[in-house]
């Protein structure tokens, strides 16, 4: 993924310091664990001393005011690269939801501010909310990936994390990009279950969906400009086909469509453009 790197914990502190100095106030963390730690149960994902848990502690210790959001999903921990527990060729929704709740509690024990389930299992927001409340983490928020399309734009991220599915695809739990109304249904369900913020993903070729949702939903709406959108633009700029100003135009159009916040790999560039 051009211009993007995996950070060890010592380098992570330097990286977050740079971002904070640029005026950024939140980070979204993803973990990359070694293949030997992957299984079909997400065991490593709940390790109190796992990479994600240590990363949360390191950041909150050095930058207590930085809002830390964590990815809650099985795919980086799954021997199959899927977001759920696999049985034959099936993804077991309810067993997965149970583990996602445990992962969320584990991240909360480490000090996370907001958990972000990105798996697209049904019923996970309610289960996570109940598990967090029961464990006394009532103030930990849930940013739900309510609308996540089975998109072809995730390629560079999956390469960076080695998290591409080992068999099949994610079409049985991620959404069909030909379907428009399902986005609203999924969003309203997640809100009813207790989501504090709604994520729509990808962003740039889903501006109509962002607009649809922002017309009916009055919670914070985030849009995720994903790795493929980033890589296309980055490479075109590097090759001189486009000027850097297209980044600003892309981000503004996502905002114009109705996003309150944008998750983007151009965050650092954006702070410079906006100065
Ligand atoms: N669960 C995280 C992702 O799928 C990221 C996608 C991307 O940036 O391409």
Query: Hunting for tokens 């051009």 — which residue is that?
Result: 2
pLDDT at residue 163 greater than cutoff 80? no
pLDDT, one tens digit per residue, over 96-138 is 999 999 999 999 999 999 999 998 889 999 999 999 999 999 9
pLDDT of residue 62: 96
pLDDT of residue 115: 98
Q: Is 201 a catalytic residue?
A: yes
Whether 145 lines ligand 1, by a CB cut-off of 6 Å, is no
pLDDT of residue 174: 87
Q: How confident is the model at residue 172 (pLDDT cuts 50, 70, 90)?
A: confident
Whether 151 lines ligand 1, by a CB cut-off of 6 Å, is no
Q: How confident is the model at residue 77 (pLDDT cuts 50, 70, 90)?
A: very high
Q: Is the C-alpha dihedral spanning 48, 54, 55, 57 positive or negative?
A: positive
Q: How confident is the model at residue 203 (pLDDT cuts 50, 70, 90)?
A: very high
63/57 Cα distance (integer angstroms): 10
Whether 118 lines ligand 1, by a CB cut-off of 6 Å, is yes
Which is the closest atom of ligand 1 to the Cα of 156? 9
Q: How confident is the model at residue 171 (pLDDT cuts 50, 70, 90)?
A: confident
pLDDT of residue 275: 83
275/260 Cα distance (integer angstroms): 19
Q: What number is the ipTM of this complex?
A: 0.96
Which is the closest atom of ligand 1 to the Cα of 163? 4
pLDDT of residue 48: 97
Q: Is the C-alpha dihedral spanning 45, 49, 52, 53 positive or negative?
A: positive
Helix, strand or coil, per DSSP, at residue 186: helix
**Is the bond preceding 95 in cis, omega lying within 30 degrees of 0?**
no
pLDDT at residue 37 greater than cutoff 90? yes
pLDDT, one tens digit per residue, over 212-251 is 999 999 999 999 999 999 999 999 999 999 999 999 999 9
pLDDT of residue 41: 92
Q: Give the closest residue (by CA) to ligand 1 atom 2.
A: 118
246 CB-side CA count, 13 A: 15
Task: Tell me the CATH number of domain 9-274, given options 3.40.50.620, 3.40.50.970, 3.30.56.10, 3.20.20.70.
Answer: 3.20.20.70
Other beta carbons within 10 Å of 242: 16
Q: Give the closest residue (by CA) to ligand 1 atom 6.
A: 154
Q: Is 234 a catalytic residue?
A: no
| Global pTM value | 0.95
- The average confidence (pLDDT) of the chain is 94
Q: Are 222 and 206 in contact (CB under 8 A)?
A: no
- DSSP label at 222? E
| Centroid of ligand 1 to alpha carbon of 40 (angstroms) | 20
Q: Give the closest residue (by CA) to ligand 1 atom 1.
A: 118
Query: Domains of the chain: which residue ranges?
Result: 9-274
């Amino acid at each position: 993924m051009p211009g993007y790197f995996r950070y060890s914990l010592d380098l992570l502190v330097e990286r977050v310091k740079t971002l904070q100095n640029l005026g950024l106030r939140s980070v979204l963390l993803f973990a990359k664990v070694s293949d030997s730690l992957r299984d079909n149960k997400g065991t490593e994902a709940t390790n109190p001393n796992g990479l994600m848990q240590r990363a949360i502690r390191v950041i909150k210790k050095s930058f207590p005011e930085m809002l830390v959001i964590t990815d809650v999903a099985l795919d980086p921990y799954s021997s199959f690269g899927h977001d759920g527990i696999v049985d034959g060729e099936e993804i077991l929704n309810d067993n997965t939801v149970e583990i996602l709740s445990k992962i969320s509690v584990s991240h909360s024990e480490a000090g996370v501010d907001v958990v972000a389930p990105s798996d697209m299992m049904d019923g996970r927001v309610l289960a996570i909310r109940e598990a967090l409340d029961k464990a006394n983490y009532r103030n930990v928020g849930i940013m739900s990936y309510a609308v996540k399309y089975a998109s072809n734009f995730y390629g560079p991220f999956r390469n960076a994390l080695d998290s591409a599915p080992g068999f099949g695809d994610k079409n049985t739990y991620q959404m069909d990009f030909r379907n428009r109304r399902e986005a609203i249904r999924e969003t309203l369900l997640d809100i009813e279950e207790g989501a504090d913020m709604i994520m729509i993903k990808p962003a740039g070729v889903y501006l109509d969906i962002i607009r649809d949702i922002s017309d009916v939903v009055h919670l914070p709406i985030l849009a995720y400009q994903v790795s493929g959108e980033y890589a296309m633009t980055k490479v075109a700029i590097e090759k001189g086909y486009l000027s850097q100003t297209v980044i600003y135009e892309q981000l503004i159009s996502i905002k114009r469509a109705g996003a309150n916040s944008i998750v983007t790999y151009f965050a650092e560039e954006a702070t410079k453009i906006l100065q």
